[in-house]
Chain A
């Protein structure tokens, strides 16, 4: 009986190979939000306007933009103007959806977020200081 079960388990494992995880092109942007006046919106952030306009910051500027080719499970680090680093990892890809893990070691924060092809993550990556906070936007298959 045990032999039969062991053989069945082995067959099941062999019959279900792990899906190959291809590299994922990701556009990462670091965005600065400020409470200063007058209100201003960086035209390069037009596609983020709907998300960013929900926040109470009045001036929005793009600080950095990086196009990454992310290997599955490998963490890429994005440097913030403060010198801190934010880790970004692709932890799962299923069809048109991708799951990112955003890590901020200085804050002991790890967020796993799943989005589809035409969505992006906007993640605050620094606490507000002097009316200024930094955000990171990640979009797969830009």
Chain B
């Protein structure tokens, strides 16, 4: 009986749950204990019944509409909408981002306008060089002084 108290909880243990000596001891105990063999048989029968019952329940469930439902949702998301509808949705869902995005080109245009006006006011100081060979430009109050290098390339 003492052995039954020790080994009964081990009946039905899964692979790897028992140590080697526990597994050997359980086998030896089952060989000599009819009560524990009966317990083991009952557990196996119960486990089989539960497994079968779960499988039967899963089989009764029809997963066909599930897949169709998922695919339908994906298609709905992919379906193109009009630009106005998307714009409206963006404004509704992300009003701050939309406002910022709309404001950015206006700010950029204003910045360019201010820059151009400022540049025009100081046009006498503007110097544009799009050349090769110009080494140095000395700005003086009398006008620019442009110097070139002494050894031009290719000559």
Contact = CB atoms under 8 A, between A and B. Distances in A.
B152 A94 contact: no
Contacts of A125: 148
Nearest to B138: A54
Given A108-B132, A109-B148, A110-B131, A51 B124 contact: no
A109 B151 CA distance: 13
B127 A113 contact: yes
B124 A102 contact: no
A80 interface: no
A113 B142 contact: no
B124 A116 contact: yes
Nearest to B132: A108
Interface range, B side: 20 to 34
A102 B148 contact: no
Interface string B124-136: 1011111111100
A55 B146 CA distance: 11
B152 A114 contact: no
Interface in B106-153: 120, 123-124, 126-134, 137-138, 140-152
B144 A109 contact: no
Contacts of A110: 130-131
Contact of A115 (B124, B128, B134, B149): B124
Interface string A34-65: 00000000000001101100110000000000
A128 interface: yes
Given A94-B120, A94-B123, A112-B128, A107 B144 contact: no
A96 to B, nearest CB: 8
Interface of B: 120, 123-124, 126-134, 137-138, 140-152, 154-155
Interface of A: 47-48, 50-51, 54-55, 94, 97, 99, 102, 104, 106-116, 119-125, 127-128, 139
13 contacts: A51-B145, A55-B147, A94-B123, A104-B148, A106-B155, A108-B133, A110-B130, A115-B144, A121-B146, A122-B145, A124-B146, A128-B150, A139-B143
Given A106-B155, A114-B128, 11 more contacts: A48-B142, A97-B123, A107-B133, A111-B131, A114-B126, A114-B127, A119-B124, A120-B142, A122-B144, A127-B148, A127-B150
